[in-house]
A and B are shown apart, each in its own frame.
Chain A
Amino acid sequence: MRAVHTAEVGSAHGGAGSGPWILGVRHHGPGSARAVRAALDAQRPRAVLIEGPPEADALVALAADEEMRPPVALLAHVVDEPGRSAFWPFAEFSPEWVAVNWALEHGVPVRFIDLPAAHSLAMRAEEEKEEEREREKEGPAGWEGESGAEGEPGAGGQSGDGGEPGDGGEPGAAGGPGAEGGPAADPDAESAADPDAEPAADPSAEVLRVDPIAVLAETAGYDDPERWWEDVVEYRGQTADALAPFAALAEAMGALREVYGAGGHDRDLVREAYMRLQMRVAAKEFGPEYAVVCGAWHVPALREKTTVTADRALLKGLPKAKVDMTWVPWTHRRLARASGYGAGIDSPGWYAHLFAAPDRPVERWLTKVAGLLRDEDRLVSSAHVIEAVRLAETLAVMRGRPLPGLSETTDAVRAVFCDGSDVPLSLIHDRLIVGDVLGEVPSAAPAVPLQRDLTRIQKSLRLKPEALERELELDLRQANDAERSRLLHRLRLLGIGWGEPAAATRGSTGTFRESWRLRWEPELSVRVAEAGIWGTTVLGAATAKAESDAVGAAALADVTALAERCLLAALPDALPVVMRVLADRAALDADVGHLAQALPALVRSLRYGDVRGTDTGALTEVAAGLAERVFVGLAPACAGLDADGAAEMRTHVDAVHGAVGLLDDERHAKATGPDTAGATATDTAATLPPSATDGIRPRWYTVLHTLGTRDTVPGVIRGRAVRLLLDEGELSQDEAGRLMGLALSVGTPPAEAAAWIDGFVGGGSGGMLLVHDERLLGLVDAWLTSVPATAFTDVLPLLRRTFSAYEPGVRRTLGELVRRGPAAQPAATAAVGVPGFADALDEERAAAVLPVVRLLLGLDASPEDSDALAEAAG
């Protein structure tokens, strides 16, 4: 084929001289792509010029590589700042991609003729500095909201990572949407025929920009520009004259530009000047027989007759930056707008289908949908497909469209396949209309910036990737170690499992110490390349990934765990998103169990945050709110549980109790000063006097009171609540004794009573507690001795069940304690008023025993003794 074509090139246009052919397209338009291929096949130009950064010229050969699989994107980034970057995505159905491939197949040179990325990235940097200055005038409050709004994968705004430790020091860099920002900043990803609206760097200044397609659609009486474009361009069959569609479109665009000029896209003029210069160079080299593939919007400008000097003048004094370029894998999801990609297409999967389907696109599409639904075990027969096709076609007729489009087929799918439900439809949208396609890039492509960023950080932190496994102990109080820990946590978030947290080898549980097991496997490099879609710096990518994970998280506990990881990895920008998701989930999750599960991780994060000096104000609020909801919902949720549910709820109660202690300390520490924050949790939770609380703790006690006294609550939880209150000194022993008596009285079913005892003193530590806490032992003892003989046999097996869970040593000590009684424990005098034990030795009664002891020992009985003996005997 190739030989034939190249041979014909010269003759085919011998006399025509109709070149150059300027083919105005819509980026990512399958119809445009097909038309471009037809036009190229018909005209066979000697060179193909494409709107794109000329730095990519060197990489273009890779497009024909066997390993190259679209969607892929050209990525340009400033050499020293990987965060400063822009993407030019190509899908299989992108006209540019088709043109590149056609040229490579036919051995025709390809040139990218847009303004070099070296200029455009530098220009953005300058604009951004301007904005920053503006913004500083307005006050610093502005940037936070914007960076939140921009939260999208690859919004590589975080130029500060590593380079400027501490980050966030450059509000402009982080906040300027579309500044150096990832995909959104790509000027050529427009859905419309390239108005090159840089995604609203500053909405107020850019409102005047024109969407040419929208104007044309409105003129034609369509309310949806996309639909108009599809009807007019994408769905039109092949015409005899391959160039006719381009001529018509160029004419329309010419009319538009006459009215609107540059339409608010000021940089377009510069870009078009550059393109014209490149066209002149091409004309010199190849003669007039070359083709230009560019956004339709530019066509009139490229046709314009201008002087070289005028064009040069426009290009004078452009800023320049050193830029590297490479291919990166892209995904359909990235092409879709839904992923936060400011400019893209709604339905890459549908377009890919339109482009790939040789004929009968609707029938093929609906068959595909049916296949997907069948895989998901939905009953869809061929009869369904037939009916859906008929409905889609009738709908198209009724709506006056030339062919059923995506909306008609979707309506048909909903009515025929899905029983009118939108649930399976969202699956179809996700899998087919958007699609899961992931591009591939040959290994020969230059390294992705994320890898470079990682290498740079590894060097600066002196943390070499080694294949040999090794342990790493980090002291988070040291700046370097803290940075290392953040890096490892960020990489884990990105799925790059270089370091895994290990149990601390020194047995230290201090929060300032971390142990890692490091091992660099070769496939981690692949992981880094894959993670490249999330951003160009480790920080940016981790932030984007965390945000995406938060939105997709299934359970509330997952989100709190993620929040914890965000803090560990120091991702302040991701935190607001995670917090928002968390707040939403917490508000909607009615299951107290979930809330209770989520609370400890959240409270733990608060502590870590303190150690690492991150601001956790927002987190504290969410945690307090979560605790509040648990308090409100816990008592009703405990009613009417079965044994298993009760056991599970008991662990929740314990977890919440621990968390409340921590949370309260945290709030207290915040109020009094940072010094006390380092105190370990477990001691304070048990010993902190209730006077130190500021609200949360008393409310928790109220909840525990409710749990402890409500009859509908299972025994195990009631016992647990009473025990916790007793531990906290919130319940007098008398009251606890009364509650215990109540719970263990004859009227209570035996199983319930056993559960209560289990909750009260059960669990691993219950035995030790009884050993060490005279009061508790006293309570149990008092109750046990008061059990009537008839009931005792009923209670015995239940008690055995609880006490047999203790370790043998504990059991024996307990037994000895009970046998020895209080006399054996002089230290126990402190335990005032324990029922069953006197405050101190009762001298009188002790003396009464003496004569008998003497008698037994064979000692002489003194007269007083015999009196006493007589008294005792009497």
Chain B
Amino acid sequence: MTVLDNETVRPAAEVLRAHAEDAFADELAALAAADDRPRPARWRLSPWAVATYLLGGTLPDGTVITPKYVGPRRIVEVAVTTLATDRALLLLGVPGTAKTWVSEHLAAAVSGDSTLLVQGTAGTPEEAIRYGWNYAQLLAHGPSRDALVPSPVMRAMAEGMTARVEELTRIPADVQDTLITILSEKTLPIPELGQEVQAVRGFNLIATANDRDRGVNELSSALRRRFNTVVLPLPESVDAEVDIVARRVDQLGRSLDLPPGPDGIDEIRRVVTVFRELRDGITADGRTKVKSPSGTLSTAEAISVVTGGLALAAHFGDGVLRAGDIAAGILGAVVRDPAADRVIWKEYLEAVVRERDGWKDFYRACREVSG
């Protein structure tokens, strides 16, 4: 953290979204206390404890660790194990499969700091990954380490921490390739000074990339070879997904001061069911095939539909989450391509939703907003 950051630090409750290591500081501390397994150099926790932190569990002293990631254990184990080797980790997945979420928590659990972050965009410059210069210093005193502005990756290397690169495939290919030396030689040369920064043990890198964006800036095979790839899947069962949505909606709702509706869970289940059925192209009972719209209909979208519905109910309705509050949100999420998706949505409404017991209100609400 730079000086500037220190001045703006606020209590965790005040900020809109606390860093993982702050929000779950208690759990991390409890895990560290209970963890007697060998830790790799500069890791705050053992790999086993990191996996427990992500997947949840109960410690011997009774501390309950909440699950951060609800999904196959295998995925988390491979991810953590990868970080323990010297290979970098690439998290792939369609939008909304908790890639960033997992990477943040991994970094928080492994290094206790999830802020060494490079956000990948089409305009991410090489300096964001290597280092930049403080030009005032540079002009006044010439090139020196003092004039150098290190990137998060460089700092992670120097301190043996976990660096994160978000949306790796959005970064231009030539900038991506600066990572190759860092990941294979574990060093970052500074030719201007004739120096280099060598990574100390404990350094590793977590990158996330969007499956659907693959075409944007496909990784070169040289760079790809430096990563172990883990694909984060969409939730396996309805219950798992309802659980995820409810959990996140609750957390988000609290930070937005939204009252949770008593019937919320039923509507959440409905949203999740609709999303899953459209995504999988088959109804939950496995009897009817339906067409899939063009949108991803990820869990994250389900979360935002429900959160939006909650806000709608709180501010414009009677405070109870009802079918009408989520109908518009669902329509917006499903119908991305106005022509094709609308037909698919209507077919689904007529063929599936109308026939379903206890979904009359939802059907009517959807008909209303669909026009």
Which residues of A are interface residues toward B (Cβ below 8 A)? 379, 381, 383-384, 387, 390-391, 394-395, 398-399, 407, 411-412, 414-416, 418-422, 584, 587-588, 590
Instruction: Let me know if B289 and A588 touch, CB within 8 A.
Output: yes
Instruction: Kindly list 9 other residue pairs between chains A and B, CB separation below 8 angstroms, not including A398-B51, A412-B78.
Output: A383-B225, A387-B85, A391-B78, A394-B81, A399-B77, A418-B229, A419-B90, A420-B92, A590-B291
Residue of B nearest to A418 (CB): B229
Q: Indicate if the CB atoms of A421 and B225 lie closer than 8 Å.
A: no
B85 proximity list for chain A (CB < 8 A): 387, 390-391, 394
A263 CB to nearest B CB, Å: 31
**What's the Cα separation between A421 and B230 when bound, in Å?**
8
CB neighbours of B81 from chain A (8 A): 391, 394-395, 398
The answer to whether A381 and B230 touch across the interface, beta carbons within 8 angstroms, is: no
Give, as a whole number of angstroms, the nearest-CB distance from B33 to chain A: 21
Q: Does B231 contact A (CB under 8 A)?
A: yes
- Which of A384, A414, A418, A419 counts the most B-chain CB atoms under 10 A from its CB? A419
A590-B294 Cα distance, complex, nearest whole Å: 14
Asked whether A419 and B51 contact (CB < 8 A) given A390-B85, A584-B289, the answer is: no
Asked whether, in the complex, the Cβ of A416 is within 8 Å of the Cβ of B228, the reply is: yes
Q: A391-B87, A421-B231 are in contact. Are A415 and B82 (CB under 8 A)?
A: yes
**B224 in the interface, Cβ–Cβ < 8 Å?**
yes
Instruction: Closest A residue to B75 by CB, please name it.
Output: A411
A412 to chain B: closest residue by CB: B78
| CA of A381 to CA of B47, assembled, Å | 28
B143 within 8 A of A: no
The answer, yes or no, to whether B74 is at the interface (CB within 8 Å) is yes
- On whether the beta carbons of B289 and A381 are closer than 8 Å, the reply is no
B297 interface hit (Cβ, 8 Å): no
Q: Is B281 an interface residue (CB 8 A)?
A: yes
Listed by A's residue number, 22 A-B pairs whose Cβ atoms lie within 8 Å are A379-B221, A384-B225, A391-B78, A391-B87, A394-B81, A394-B84, A394-B85, A398-B47, A398-B48, A398-B81, A407-B74, A411-B77, A411-B78, A414-B229, A415-B82, A416-B87, A416-B229, A418-B229, A419-B92, A420-B92, A421-B229, A588-B289
CB-defined interface of B70-91 with A at 8 Å, one 1/0 digit per residue?
0000100110111011010010
**Are B224's CB and A415's CB within 8 A?**
no
Tell me the complex Cα distance, A588–B229, Å: 30
B332-352 residues with Cβ-Cβ distance < 8 A to A are none
**CB-nearest residue of chain B to A584:** B289
Q: Find chain A residues with CB under 8 A from B48 CB.
A: 398
| Cβ-closest chain B residue relative to A421 | B231
Contacts of A421 on B, CB cut-off 8 Å? 229, 231
Let me know if A420 and B231 touch, CB within 8 A. Answer: yes
Q: Is the CB–CB distance between A415 and B230 below 8 Å?
A: yes
Most buried by B among A419, A420, A590: A420
Residues of B within 8 A of A383 (CB): 225
B77, A395: Cβ atoms closer than 8 Å: yes
When the two chains form their complex, are residues A391 and B289 in contact, meaning their CB atoms are under 8 A apart? no
**In the complex, what's the smallest C-beta–C-beta distance from A410 to chain B, in angstroms?**
9
B124 CB to closest chain A CB, in angstroms? 22
- Among residues of B, the one whose C-beta sits closest to the C-beta of A380 is B225
Mark each residue of chain B from 284 to 295: 1 if its CB lies under 8 Å from any CB of chain A, else 0.
000001010000
A383 to B224, CA, bound (A): 12
A420 touches B84 (CB 8 A): no
Q: Across the interface, which residues of B come within 8 angstroms of A584, CB to CB?
A: 289
| B313 nearest CB across to chain A (Å) | 37
By a CB distance below 8 angstroms, the chain B residues around A587 are: 289
- A398 adjacent to B77 (CB under 8 Å): yes
CB distance from A568 to the nearest CB of B (A): 29
Q: How far is the CB of A670 from chain B (nearest CB, A)?
A: 26
- A412 and B229 CA atoms in complex are apart in Å by 9
Q: Which of A415, A422, A590 contacts B78 (CB 8 A)?
A: A415
Instruction: Evaluate contact between A395 and B224: CB separation under 8 angstroms.
Output: no
* Residue of B77, B85, B87, B228 ringed by the most chain A CB atoms within 10 A: B228
Interface residues of B in 221-240 (CB under 8 A from A): 221, 224-225, 228-231
> Could you say which residues of chain B place their CB within 8 Å of the CB of A379?
221
CB contacts (< 8 Å) of B51 on chain A: these are: 398
Q: Which of B217-269 contact A (CB under 8 A)?
A: 221, 224-225, 228-231
Residue of A nearest to B90 (CB): A420
Q: Which residues in A have their C-beta under 8 angstroms from that of B90?
A: 419-420
A391-B87, A588-B289 known; A415 vs B77 contact (CB < 8 Å): no
- Tell whether, in the assembled complex, residue B78 and residue A588 are in contact, meaning their CB atoms are under 8 Å apart: no
**Given A379-B221, A398-B47, also A387-B228 (CB < 8 A):** yes
A626 to chain B, nearest CB (A): 13
CA distance A419 to B228 in the complex (A): 7
Least Cβ–Cβ distance between A179 and chain B, in angstroms: 29
Interface residues in B288-315 by Cβ distance below 8 A to A read 289, 291
B82: chain A residues at CB < 8 Å are 391, 415
- The residue on B at minimum CB distance from A388 is B228
